[in-house]
Amino acid sequence: MRGTMMEFPLTLPHLLDRAGFLFARSEIVSRCPRRTTTRTTYADFHRCARRFASALTRLGLQPGDRVSTMMWSHATHMHLFFGIPCAGGIINPLNLRLHPQELAAIANHASSRFLIVDDALLPVYESLRNAGASFEKVIINRYAGGEVPPGFLDYDELLAAEDDNFVYPKLDENDGAAMFFTSGTTGCSKAVVYTHRSLVLHGLSLAMADCFALSHNDVVLPIVPLFHANAWGMPHGAAITGAKFVLLGPNVDPESILDAIVEHGVTFAAGVPTIWLNVLCALEKYPDRWKFAPLRALCGGSAPPLDLIRALDKRGIHIMHAWGMTETSPLATAPLIKPHMRDYSEDALYEFRGKQGLAVPLVELRVMRPENPEDENCEKAAEAPRDGKTPGELEIRGPWIASSYYNCPDQSHRWSSDGWFRTGDVAHMDEEGYIKIVDREKDLVKSGGEWISSVDLENSLMGHPAVKEAAVIGVPHPKWQERPLAAVVLKEGAAATPEDLRAYLAKTFAKWQLPDAFVFLTEIPRTSVGKFKKTALRQQFANWSWE
Ligand code: ADP
């Protein structure tokens, strides 16, 4: 017998209308390029997003057309996150920190018909165009108050020409709504198309008390740019809950972040560990400059060092460590501490917080390894024991996990025959389901048949009082296949020798796991979203001589 419930598609117009009606007065605050602040409301958001949907329809948008954005994080970008899909289009935010050549390849892959660009980013658009990208129409958002040059459309004028009577097209919940590209830390970017349904469900999960507990009482600051990995679902989570939304524009330096936290009473912020490391350095440098109420800090993208979690706790910033990927919308785990764990020692609890947590509701995880690990040629996989130590590849499935890449020829190896996505991350799981990412498969140091976790070494090194940043890579070795090399950035005015660092690590690591070389750099190369770019480091030390 079939149930007797309504068929109610999970689509973004529902979220947009909910936010605009129920939370009309909630604010969206944006920092502008000249560090002034503009305040708008969810009522404005509702009106502008719908008007833009109407304007796009008038410009000839067809269902499923891609519309790229090249914008900083601000209210207008938030409007487009909803306006484009609510017109039946697919928003494709371009990561403007990428090289123009890479950006042009992405824009061409998305084959977007329209582009909306901040006036301040017109030079980036020009280099994109010179690199071979083309759009039918380019619309300028006068974010920095500039002029609209001939040949472009003016976003404000487009909106002014519309009324408020737009009727949403009929949307299926499985229609595409947003297209994001993986950030390419380990290789070429690949495109993932989120659906209305996946965005609604993922956004809703953020509001669960046992996940990130986003609520109407929150003031949400996505430090992660809106163009990275679905902005970690923040626009959708904010719209569902009606939380006040604070957007930093181009200013993501630690001082601007801390100023915004104080000025707007931020209760929930989201950023990668390097952002939080910089925030910690600023707080250490100016201990009395910022006074704020305790806040929750979602931290993902790579694992935060335990000492960072500890040090920020003391300063009222509670790290909520989570794991995810562009392919997983991205949030797939949450840092739930169960009641019986409250009796754990302080150290044990911090160990736990360094893990990536439990699968969030509706998401399933498993750790797979060869059925017979002794047999090098064994192709059959089996689930690894849930013992908190046996590593294998992490696999995932759920309603907001990608089932394929968009237009990518060689992808079948990423999905198992029974539909699980193979993440490329090596992890172990304990008997209660907590996962710990050991490393990315590509970043593990393969030394004499043993695996060494680069993540564990670098996170431990970053606990040394003189070390600001550390990244560990495997460098080819004639005898051992690879050996670890640690690239280290020291804190301003601090000193440490390779021997000091080796002795420090030797307290917690076996001798064969210790880096054989320490090199001191002024900075670690980063990806466009602030992660350590190990491909660049590997290139830099490709000809390293162990002699
Ligand atoms: P890219 O793979 O290019 O960096 P993503 O931004 O999608 O693109 O990053 C996803 C990857 O980031 C994951 O596969 C994992 O290796 C890493 N990652 C994300 N969150 C965490 C975390 N909390 N701890 C360790 N690694 C993480």
| Residue of 137, 98, 101, 96 whose CA lies nearest to 120 | 96
Q: Are strands 66-70 and 90-93 parallel, antiparallel or unpaired?
A: parallel
Distance CA(308)–CA(281), nearest Å, equals 10
Tokens of 325: 């990927």
Q: Which two tokens stand for residue 195?
A: 């659906």
Residue pair 352/304 in contact (Cβ under 8 Å)? The answer is no
Tokens of 480: 């051992």
Q: Is the CB of 307 under 6 A from ligand 1?
A: no
508 included as an active-site residue: no
**Whether the Cβ atoms of residue 222 and residue 214 lie closer than 8 Å to each other:** no
- Cβ 300 under 6 angstroms from ligand 1: yes
pLDDT tens, N- to C-terminus, the chain (547 residues): 999 999 999 999 999 999 999 999 999 999 988 888 999 999 999 999 999 999 999 999 999 999 999 999 999 999 999 999 999 999 999 998 888 888 999 999 999 999 999 999 999 999 999 999 999 999 999 999 989 999 999 999 999 999 999 999 999 999 999 999 987 666 678 999 999 999 999 999 999 999 999 999 999 999 999 999 999 999 999 999 999 999 999 999 999 999 999 999 999 999 999 899 999 999 999 999 999 999 999 999 999 999 999 999 999 999 999 999 999 999 999 999 999 998 999 999 999 999 999 999 999 999 999 988 777 787 889 999 999 999 999 999 999 999 999 998 888 889 998 999 999 999 999 999 999 999 898 899 988 878 899 999 999 999 999 999 999 999 999 888 899 999 999 998 999 999 999 999 999 898 999 999 999 999 999 888 888 889 899 999 988 998 7
pLDDT of 185: 63
Please say if 327 is a catalytic residue.
Answer: yes
pLDDT of residue 309: 97
Ligand 1, pocket-test mutation among 437, 533, 535, most atoms within 8 A of CB: 437
Work out whether strand 268-271 and strand 421-429 pair parallel, antiparallel, or are unpaired: unpaired
**What pLDDT was estimated at residue 379?**
81
Residue 469 annotated to the active site: no
pLDDT at 102: 87
Query: Order of strands across the sheet with 421-429?
Result: 381-383, 364-370, 392-397, 421-429, 435-440
Q: In the annotation, is 451 catalytic?
A: yes
Q: Which among 443, 406, 410 is positioned nearest to 190, based on CA atoms?
A: 406
* Dihedral sign (CA 206, 211, 212, 215): positive
Among the listed residues 314, 214, 307, 308, the one whose alpha carbon sits nearest the alpha carbon of residue 266? 214
Atom of ligand 1 nearest to the CA of 184: 3
119 sits in the region (left: phi over 0; alpha: psi -120 to 50; else beta) called alpha
Q: Phi, psi (5° rounding) for residue 331?
A: -75, 125
Helix (H, G, I), strand (E, B) or coil at 445: strand
Cβ of residue 435 lying under 6 Å from some atom of ligand 1: no
Q: Residue 187's pLDDT is what?
A: 64
- CB 22: neighbour CB atoms within 10 A? 12
* Nearest CA-CA partner of 248 in 19, 96, 38: 38
What pLDDT, on the 0 to 100 scale, is given for residue 1?
94
d(CA 541, CA 403): 36
Q: What is the pLDDT of residue 531?
A: 85
Q: How far is the CA of 272 from the centre of ligand 1 (A)?
A: 10
509 CA distance to ligand 1 centroid (A)?
24
Tokens for 474? 């495997």
Structure tokens at 306: 């335990």
Tell whether ligand 1 has an atom less than 6 A from the beta carbon of residue 425: yes
187, 212, 189: which is closest to 326 by C-alpha?
189
From the list 327, 393, 458, 469, the catalytic residue is 327
d(CA 293, CA 308) in angstroms, rounded, equals 19
Collapsing DSSP to helix, strand or coil, 392 comes out as: strand
Q: Which of 446, 482, 491, 535 is catalytic?
A: 446
Q: Give the end-to-end CA distance of the chain in Å, rounded to a whole number.
A: 74
For residue 351, give the amino acid letter. E
Length of the chain: 547
pTM of the model: 0.92
Task: Say if residues 357 and 365 touch (Cβ distance below 8 Å).
Answer: no
What the block records as the tokens of 161 is 């020409």
**Element spanning 271, H or E:** strand 268-271
Q: What is the distance between the alpha carbons of residues 39 and 232, in angstroms, rounded to a whole number?
A: 23
Residues 6+ apart with CB under 8 A from 241: 207, 214, 215, 216, 218
Among the listed residues 246, 235, 239, the one whose alpha carbon sits nearest the alpha carbon of residue 40: 246
What 3-state class would DSSP assign to 97? coil
